[in-house]
Chain A
């Protein structure tokens, strides 16, 4: 049995949220629980730990002192209403914010086992992205053939050996449950695939380079229910091989695919715990309100 790490928000923010949701402030808060404590389980190792992490878009503080663990070879879902910062948090893991000027990180995200601080300015974002793959909201295959899309990561890492690339492409497409559908047309343009197939291709593209962590940013929001089901099934299968973080708007999806869930609101982590506990027995009233659809 895994013990549950539960985060508590700061005094001041509690008042703010309470105002919004109409709940009296000050209740159900454990004054002894420090923001930074990560009481992760003993059975499941932690792949990454977010510690006191804040994020600024210019002067706007989009994320406020977030601390949470990401368990190895488990699926962690980030849920919360639009604008709560869940995508911002996800995009921090592969330093996507570095692409745009005016963004600032505070705090640390440590990637284990080597304990690298992903946010350290001395750490090359390209190194980070080589270890952490990402699947986007809208499928974004490159304007290349199916084969070349999957081979892209290998090629930019300097792999030249054709048979190695062939093997890894095949393996990645099998891993993304796409092989049987594209086996005979590997050299067709990727844009000819359907939306769901394109998204699985994007997953295969990541798998080809064997990342340690896979980030999914609302991967099914542009897909129909059948394609969504196949992606969810795939996430379930990948769970044994790679650590997964998924942002989703769809609470049923979070409940179906994830082992751990983090509920975020207005840039703060409101509650983190095992998905079962969050959905069946949330500790906070706000989490319960969101999950039962009373707001958000």
Chain B
């Protein structure tokens, strides 16, 4: 008993020769380092938050100036967008019609093709085939959109003119088709990821029932991956709505209140490009109109993202 008592506090510490205060000091240092690293990580996360907040602030504050001069009601209902005229009119509808028409054409191309590619790559392609096709798809996604724009103007529209001789040199159909091709990689790769995430046990269950590959792909894997596939579509729509260079180059630059894809028209994003090129003096109402247009565009993509969120939750399958 005496022996153990005289051993002192140090001998009770089972590890290391450090005294209690030494170990406390180490702990303080360690906590400090942890705090610093945590703050750095938080800062990195805040870069994106602050950027978003900054953009919204600029858009809203500049739009407020614009709406001081142009009533919001006429902005939303006027069917003319003529900022360069002596008597300028600012109705967003023609730009909105252009944006929605080109996006619709793009989706008619991208959704069926993107889905087909995804089903093929996920359920049918042999690994060797997939290894060839996937890099090409990624390459397609990496081509700058300005290149697509000239591809539309120099190749696709002339081809369309062979079919429809009276088609104008700029039109929403050609721009929309090429825009559809440009977003195929986004749709197909996300949809493919969603289908590959369906567990093998689900496919085995279907095969064990005597199903063919086609039946398994369409009746089991596709519905199981539906939530991911729908979010792929919504991402595709967001990209189509915000897409700029292809439509700026190939769809024409006249605001035109029409949903006929055979006609030329301007989209919201293309209008912003036009003003940014310097057609309108800095500080004028016309210049400020790009912020109102930009705000409309942002609200549209925000709405799409919200729809996407709801869809993902609604169709999520627990497997």
Contacts and interface: CB of A to CB of B under 8 A. Distances in A.
B212 A126 contact: yes
User: Which of B208, B215, B224 is the most central at the interface, judged by chain A CB atoms within 10 Å of its CB?
Assistant: B208
Contact of A99 (B204, B215, B226): B204
Contacts of B223: 142-144
Contacts of B201: 136, 138, 140
A83 to B, nearest CB: 20
Interface in B203-255: 203-212, 215, 219-220, 223-224, 226
A141 B209 CA distance: 12
A157 interface: yes
A129 interface: yes
Contacts of B208: 94, 96, 129, 133-134, 136
| Interface size grouping (class) on chain B | 20 to 34
B311 to A, nearest CB: 15
A292 B199 CA distance: 37
Contact of A140 (B202, B212, B215, B318): B202
Nearest to A215: B208
Contacts of A138: 201
Nearest to B318: A191
Interface in A105-161: 126-127, 129-130, 133-134, 136, 138, 140-144, 152-153, 155-157
Contacts of B319: 140, 143, 191
A142 B202 contact: yes
B204 A152 contact: no
B317 interface: yes
Given A156-B215, A191-B318, A191-B319, A140 B204 contact: yes
Q: Which of the four size classes fits the interface of chain A? A: 20 to 34
A140 B203 CA distance: 9
B194 to A, nearest CB: 12
Contacts of A99: 203-204, 207
A202 to B, nearest CB: 7
Contacts of B206: 142, 152
A191 B210 contact: no
Contacts of B209: 129, 133, 152-153, 156, 205-206, 209
A230 to B, nearest CB: 20
Contacts of B211: 126, 152, 156
The residue in B202, B207, B210, B220 that gathers the most chain A C-beta atoms within 10 A of its C-beta is B210
B177 to A, nearest CB: 34
A136 B210 CA distance: 15
Contacts of B318: 191
A127 B224 CA distance: 25
Contacts of A126: 210-212
A155 B209 CA distance: 11
